[in-house]
Structure 1
Amino acid sequence: MSEIDWRPSLPEAVVALIVIAVGFVEAVVLYAITNGRVDGFAQTLVVAFAVAASRRAPAVGLALVWVLGLLHVRFGVPIMLVEFTLTAVFFGSARWGRSATVVMSALSVPLAVVVAFVLHQGRTIFLHLLVGGSRVDDVIRQRPTLELALSLVAMLLVAAPWPAGLVMRSLDRAKVSRASMLAAEEAATVARRETDHIREIVELRDQQTRLARDVHDVVGHSLAVILAQAESGQYLDDTERLKRTLRTIATSARSSLQDVRQVLSSTQDPATVPGFDGLIAGVRDSGHEIVATEVGTPRRLTGENAAVAYRVFQEMLTNAIKHGRRDRPIVTERHWTTTPADALMIEVTNGTEGSGCDGPLGHGRGLDGMRRRLDEIGGHLDVQAAETTFTVTAIVPARDGTR
């Protein structure tokens, strides 16, 4: 069983003990003056409890103040000097109380002043003020000026702690608001940093994905061409044709190595991307029959679109070489359109005996890579498999920002 920590309540307890000690001394004096009146002891205990509750339970302390006020008004209990410590209740109600407590304390302060004034100056003045008696001036003139001034000062002392508490309450709220604002700004700064960090990670992974796709396309295409040339070279008896095939293999390997270096160093400029004719010539040199047609008015692709179109066409030819039948030609068509959009449609068809491409229809690594490339520039990829043919169609926007 854990011990109760009384330290947070220690200041209130000390103040309450001081109030009890001073109040009991005053009560003893009052007892002696009034010949046996013991009200002062009960008043002292009520005041002590009210002062002790002024910080942690200001509503309770305010309720005890009202109890004292009723005792004074109803039973004529005299005001004790120790009751001036009740100003701590007014201060606590304004600073730490809830909204209802603040409102009630605002009403209690003037009421307490009126009660104190009436009980101190005598009921006669109060009654004449209510009825408008003609002897009011005479009664006031009978009171010494100094006594009246002291009474006014005492009333100000009773009323002053409440606005002071209200000011402290406003300062506390302003401090809390400032701290909350600073915390919100700090949280926003942290969130921005985390967002920037996440964005950097996403960009890095995107670059890695692009690099992997580029290397896949370059190496896959070159190896497919080299493999086809090497296989056809086994059956060549003519020395000159064999040398030409070997030169083609060397050229393809050299070109592939250069492309890989450009990809790894990120120095490839879309403006320097090789043309489609080079890819067609490489496939033709590998021994595959290829039929290439171009429809419409050719236009220069701009920016990233040129590189995407080249890589997509390269991957189409690679898949056609790897998975197509060698006894049937690869058919390519480039169709330049102006309606409904200015775009280039690339279509590659090859003969096949199965599903045709690297994996199930539409789910191969090469097809996924082509789709991602085209999606990034607002293009589209379509795959159609028939019983003996496999057709891949790509729509490449002719200009950047088509999406």
Structure 2
Amino acid sequence: MNRAERWLPDLLAGAAALAVGLAELRRSGEWGSAAPLLVVAGVAAAVGLARRLPALALASAWLTGIIQVLLGVDPMLTETLLAVVAFGCARWGRLPTVWLSGLSLPLSAGIAVLLLSPYAFYEALQVLGIDRIAADTYRDGGYDWRLAAGLVGFVLLATPWLLGLALRFADRSRASRRSQVAAEAERDQAAEIARLRDGQAQLARDVHDVVGHSLAVILAQAESAQYLEDVDTQALKKTMANIAGSARSSLDDVRRVLATTTDAPGSAARAPQTDLDSLVAGVRASGHEVVAAEVGTPQPMPPELAVVAFRVLQEMLTNAIRHGRRDQPVHVERHWQGDLRIEVRNAVPADEPAGSGGQGLEGMRRRLEAVGGRLDVRRRTDPPTFTATAWVPVRAR
């Protein structure tokens, strides 16, 4: 829609007001008088500007009134169309325009009463069809007509002004509701994005733990097979069987992890692996010596906490296999005293660089912090050892 099309309704409203004013001038016989024509033109201009430029419409209405007073033009019935200006100022005007238009209501009604003659008021009421009020207030030029005239003028202007104000507040209320709905939708979207990102990060940690541990075990078993005698086929077969078993277990574990990320029919997640002893047994099967100890009475743990304990021990053992010395045992201790404390200690080569631990340690920290646990990692130089200690709650917090 171009500018001319946007202004078309306002131009038609101004033209209609001008036609009404000219008809009134023709009826009253003042068609050829310039001063009444100027007042009619001012009213028409104010009506045409009421929607697009309410402040300018209010200024035009007051300018028309001043010209009318200066030129001595009697009040006209056409001026009741200034109610459109009152409506426009309250409906579309800025806050100063709303206040000024509201203050203009009693002021303009009072000025009109001062300029109005009893007969003109009586005639206007008759034109409006309010004969009873005309009869009660005129009373052959009685004194009470001015109060009635002021009230009628004020009502004619105040009613559309209040209507415009009500519509203005209704628009603001609808806009506020739309804004609130949009804000809630944005919050929901942000929460959903955060949930998806958390899910992706969790999936990445799970796959890292599963695949990293399995590859470390398989690598250790494959390396140990290099030192078997060529004639020892039984030992070689056993090693290959262990490698196949580790790979099969890893594949099954990956399937468990991926099953939790899909809603496809038939892909219900199977119970995740939480047997800590199976992790120790798997490392032993790879050829590493593991010294395991358990202190205290094992306690049942909620599934989510049992999974955390399993993944944390899995990553600890993976690091021990990858970075530890093969000729030294891996010490695994579990202490059931309040929280479950898991400690894995292994010897490391003296020239092993001390790093930050990479994604594995960071993943363990995130898992533990998410359930109220914590991780402590220490490296000692005499003798060169690496110790990882995790505290896992046995009850949900």
Q: Give TM-score, length-normalised by structure 2.
A: 0.72
Q: 1:305 to 1:19 in 2, by over 3 A?
A: closer
Q: Distance in 1 between matches of 2:271 and 2:191?
A: 27
Aligned mates of 1:250, 1:10 — CA distance in 2: 87
CA–CA separation in structure 2 for the residues paired with 1:355 and 1:322: 11
The answer as to whether partners of 2:35 and 2:73 remain within 8 angstroms in 1 is: no
Q: How far apart are the structure 1 equivalents of 2:68 and 2:73? A: 11
The residue type equivalent to 1:102 in the other structure is: G
1:29-108 matches, cutoff 5 A: 40-54=33-47, 55=50, 56=54, 57-64=56-63, 66-67=65-66, 70-71=69-70, 77=72, 79=74, 83-93=76-86, 95-96=88-89, 98-108=98-108
Shift of 1:27: 8.5
In the alignment, structure 2 segments of 5+ residues that lack a partner are 90-96, 122-136, 261-268
- Retained in 1: the 8 A contact 2:279–2:314? yes
Q: Which consecutive residues of structure 1, in runs of 5 or more, have no partner in the other structure?
A: 32-39, 122-142
| Distance verdict in 2 for CA 1:373–1:24, change over 3 Å | closer
CA distance in 2, matches of 1:23, 1:162: 20
2:359 aligns with 365
Deviation at 1:346, TM superposition (A): 1.7
Residue identity matched to 2:259? S
Q: Secondary structure at the match of 2:377?
A: strand
CA, structure 1 residues 375+257, in 2 after alignment: closer, same or farther (shift >3 Å)?
same
Query: Could you say which residue in structure 2 is the equivalent of 1:274?
Result: 275
- Pick from 211, 214, 218 the counterpart of residue 219 of structure 1: 214
How many residue pairs end up in the alignment? Answer: 357
Q: 1:158: how far off?
A: 4.2
Q: Distance in 2 between matches of 1:50 and 1:333?
A: 95
2:226 corresponds, among 207, 223, 231, to 231
Amino acid in structure 2 at the alignment position of 1:60: A
The 3 A distance-change label for structure 1 pair 280 and 236 is: farther
* Matching residue of 2:186: 191
Tell me the distance in 2 between the aligned counterparts of 1:30 and 1:248.
113
Q: Spell out the pairing of 1:344-359 with structure 2 (5 A cutoff).
A: 344-355=341-352
The one-letter code sitting in structure 2 at the alignment partner of 1:226 is Q
1:46-75 deviation digits (Å, cap 9, x = unpaired): 342144224243422342354256448xxx
Judge which range, 235-244 or 379-388, deviates more: 235-244
State yes or no: 1:287 paired with 2:281: no
What one-letter code is carried by the residue in structure 2 that aligns with 1:355?
Answer: E
Distance in 2 (alpha carbons) for counterparts of 1:148 and 1:263: 96
1:333 and 2:333 aligned: yes
- Could you tell me how far apart the structure 1 residues matched to 2:335 and 2:373 are? 14
Following superposition, the deviation at residue 367 of structure 1 comes to 2.4
Aligned match of 1:309: 309
Counterpart AA for 2:35? A
How large is the Cα RMSD of the aligned pairs? Answer: 4.0
Relative to structure 1, is the Cα distance of residues 294 and 69 closer, same or farther in structure 2, using a 3 angstrom cutoff? same
Q: Does 1:375 align with 2:369?
A: yes
1:345 match: secondary structure: strand
Deviation at 1:94, TM superposition (A): 5.0
Per-residue Cα deviation, 1:138-168 (whole angstroms, up to 9, x for no partner): xxxxx9847779x789777644421331243
| Residue among 341, 365, 386 paired with 2:380 | 386
1:354-395 CA-partner distances (Å, limit 9, x unpaired): 336xxx612323323322322322222232233452413232
CA distance in 1, matches of 2:44, 2:283: 98
Q: Alpha carbons of 1:382 and 1:102: their partners in 2 closer, same or farther (altered >3 Å)? A: same
Is the CA contact 1:291–1:332 (under 8 Å) kept in the aligned structure 2?
Answer: yes
Structure 1 residues 323 and 229: alpha-carbon distance in aligned structure 2, compared to 1, 3 A threshold: same
TM-score scaled by structure 1? 0.71
Q: How does 1:108-127 map to 2 (within 5 A)?
A: 108-117=108-117
Q: 1:220 to 1:368 in 2, by over 3 A?
A: farther
Distance 1:144 1:193 in 2: 68
Q: Percent identity?
A: 30
1:221–1:314: 8 Å Cα contact kept in structure 2?
Answer: no
CA contact (8 A) 2:276 2:313 kept: no
> How far apart, CA to CA, are the structure 2 residues paired with 1:255 and 1:25?
102
Tell me, in whole angstroms, the C-alpha distance in 2 between the residues paired with 1:21 and 1:365.
86
The offset of 1:247, in angstroms, is 4.6
Q: 1:175-207 CA distances to partner (integer Å, 9 max, x unpaired)? A: 413532452354246435534642553354245
